[in-house]
């Protein structure tokens, strides 16, 4: 029998960033050290019933003290980039005034450690941990928070711009606005659709002003971006009503940020869909111009597709829109839309595994914004990982998930998407917001009582891909 020669393995270009991601509140701990004050997540965690079993990020995985060990692990895993976030209440505790040096020093040391290990630092300025004092003064629904954010961005950029070349302003502003102020399943836990829309606008404004502030203090070589959790939408059926549900959720889930950030205006259909709630008078003349700043790359976070219908009847009671249950809707102006379980295998979050959604997002963006480089800034899966008798953690489902999504990125690149990097969520098992420590997304297992780190088998597999640039199939596939 003649053997057919094996097809060459998909290969990623030299210089492609192979990373893993974390965020400050989810990993740092040291919540009351070196001048850090409470963020909205500290407050939310202390509010009974908000977070699984009352878990908090007070200790998290103690990355603040163990970052050297964690960078060593990254180096062992062949990572070439690390995406982390800067904690606003650690560097500017009240959200205004001068920076706290100890806070900045932590990120200086972290960046230095990374650079010494040949790992590119990629910093996000805001991954949901608003200083509580700014929330008490009105939070993101208030316009002054956008101003505060630009000031904070300038402080951090000035202090760290000599070491960090890749920056994102916000992580997933959709979650900040619509889970934080709409459904209330995230901090600060408000359930007011108009506050959510106001928050979305002020996050957009904060983004634009932060980009301008950063350009003023960073070297010309700095590469600026924002990371969005874009929804890969599917109609339940081909009916006109289901197609319209896709349009509506695309407006309030995706184009509410893509429109002003990349094209200079809110979509007309979004304004019409929400006209019964607000006249959008909080958008002032000149805001669009401030928000619409040139970006050097766009971060895309993707986990699972979103299936919608034009009528709520028959829809799954569990929300298919991300994190946690909650009874209020995170979708202003979309009360008639039903959310459905996407078919296929599920992760421990209940999210369907479907890499075609990632291909859909990347090729869609490439089509509309051909000049804009892309990075997949988050992608990954939670599973019920356990330490085996041999002390190892075998997680073949996660390896299969990562493999399938990297293959989708490779296909998207062949179809014209300019994808420059990939960041697995997450480097370590960590504090998964309203789910506490119950959900494990890490490439590296963390024993939450001893904080011992153990790379899972997916981490070993990923290391092989990162080292070779070739997408090896997982054993058994
Ligand atoms: C994203 C968040 C990240 C993590 C993953 C699972 O929405 O940005 O912090 O919670 O989901």
Ligand 1 centroid from CA 124, angstroms:
13
Ligand 1 pocket, 257 CB below 6 A? no
pLDDT at site 475: 80
The H or E element spanning position 257 is: helix 256-258
Percent of the chain with pLDDT over 70: 96
Confidence of residue 319 (pLDDT cuts 50, 70, 90): very low
The per-residue pLDDT for range 379-422, each reduced to its tens digit, is 999 999 999 999 999 999 999 999 999 999 999 999 999 999 99
CB 156 within 8 A of CB 124: no
Compute CA distances 335 → 245, 306, 326, 364, whole Å: 10, 16, 15, 26
pLDDT at site 318: 42
Q: Which is nearest to 232 in space by CA: 297, 170, 303, 162?
A: 303
Confidence of residue 321 (pLDDT cuts 50, 70, 90): very low
The SS3 call for residue 233 is strand
Ligand 1 centroid from CA 285, angstroms:
33
Ligand 1 centroid from CA 315, angstroms:
24
Ligand 1 pocket, 433 CB below 6 A? yes
Question: Ligand 1 pocket check: which of 186, 349, 432 to mutate, most ligand atoms within 8 Å of Cβ?
Answer: 432
pLDDT at site 317: 46
Confidence of residue 312 (pLDDT cuts 50, 70, 90): confident
The stretch 171-183 carries a mean pLDDT of 98
Atom of ligand 1 nearest to the CA of 441: 6
378 is catalytic: yes
Torsional sign, CA 236, 237, 241, 246: positive
pLDDT at site 205: 99
Two tokens, residue 246: 């896709």
pLDDT at site 324: 56
* Annotated catalytic residue within 172, 290, 320, 432: 172
DSSP letter at 336? T
Confidence of residue 7 (pLDDT cuts 50, 70, 90): confident
Up-side HSE of residue 455: CA atoms within 13 Å toward CB? Answer: 19
For residue 468, pLDDT over 80 is answered with: yes
Question: Ligand 1 pocket check: which of 378, 380, 437, 441 to mutate, most ligand atoms within 8 Å of Cβ?
Answer: 378
pLDDT at site 132: 98
Which stretch of 4-8, 260-264, 352-356, 469-473 has the lowest confidence by average pLDDT?
4-8
The overall average pLDDT reported for the chain is 96
Ligand 1 centroid from CA 226, angstroms:
15
pLDDT at site 2: 57
Set out the domains of the chain in order of their start, with CATH numbers. 17-468 (3.20.20.80)
The per-residue pLDDT for range 45-100, each reduced to its tens digit, is 999 999 999 999 999 999 999 999 999 999 999 999 999 999 999 999 999 999 99
Residue of the CA atom closest to atom 5 of ligand 1: 425
């Amino acid at each position: 029998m003649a053997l057919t020669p094996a097809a060459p393995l998909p290969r990623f270009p030299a210089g492609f960033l192979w990373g893993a991601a974390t965020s400050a509140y989810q990993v740092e701990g040291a919540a009351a050290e070196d001048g850090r004050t409470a963020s909205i997540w500290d407050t939310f965690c202390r509010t009974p019933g908000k977070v699984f079993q009352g878990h908090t990020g007070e200790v998290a995985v103690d990355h603040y003290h163990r970052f050297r060990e964690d960078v060593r692990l990254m180096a062992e895993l062949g990572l070439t980039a690390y995406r982390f976030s800067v904690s606003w209440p650690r560097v500017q505790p009240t959200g205004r005034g001068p920076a706290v040096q100890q806070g900045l020093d932590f990120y200086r040391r972290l960046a230095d450690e990374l650079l010494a290990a040949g790992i590119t630092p990629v910093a996000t300025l805001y991954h949901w941990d608003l200083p509580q004092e700014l929330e008490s003064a009105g939070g993101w629904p208030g316009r002054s928070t956008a101003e505060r954010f630009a000031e904070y961005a300038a402080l951090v950029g000035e202090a760290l711009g000599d070491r960090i070349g890749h920056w994102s302003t916000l992580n997933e502003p959709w979650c900040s606005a619509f889970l934080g102020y709409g459904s209330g399943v995230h901090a600060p836990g408000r359930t007011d659709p108009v506050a959510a829309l106001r928050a979305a606008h002020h996050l957009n404004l904060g983004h634009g002003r932060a980009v301008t502030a950063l350009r003023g203090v960073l070297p010309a070589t700095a590469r600026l971006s924002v990371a969005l959790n874009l929804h890969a939408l599917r109609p339940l059926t081909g009916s006109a009503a289901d197609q319209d549900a896709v349009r509506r959720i695309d407006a309030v889930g995706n184009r509410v940020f893509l429109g002003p950030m990349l094209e200079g205006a809110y979509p007309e259909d979004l304004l019409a869909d929400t006209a019964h709630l607000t006249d959008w008078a909080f958008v002032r003349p000149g805001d669009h111009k401030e928000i619409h700043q040139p970006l050097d790359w766009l971060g895309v976070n993707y986990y699972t597709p979103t299936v919608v219908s034009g009528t709520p009847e028959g829809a799954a009671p569990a929300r298919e829109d991300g994190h946690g249950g909650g009874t209020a809707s995170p979708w202003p102006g979309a009360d008639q839309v039903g959310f459905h379980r996407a078919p296929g295998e599920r992760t421990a979050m209940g999210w369907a595994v479907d890499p075609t959604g990632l291909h859909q997002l990347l090729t869609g963006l490439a089509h509309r914004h051909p000049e804009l480089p892309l990075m997949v800034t988050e992608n990954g899966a939670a599973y019920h990982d356990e330490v085996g008798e041999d002390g190892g953690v075998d997680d073949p489902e996660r390896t299969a998930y990562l493999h399938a999504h990297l293959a989708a990125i490779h296909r998207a690149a062949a179809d014209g998407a300019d994808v420059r990097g990939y960041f697995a969520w997450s480097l370590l098992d960590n504090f998964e917001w309203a789910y506490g420590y119950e959900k494990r997304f890490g490439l590296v297992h963390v024993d939450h009582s001893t904080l011992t780190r153990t790379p899972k088998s997916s981490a070993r597999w990923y290391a092989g891909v990162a080292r070779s640039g070739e997408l090896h199939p997982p054993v058994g596939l």
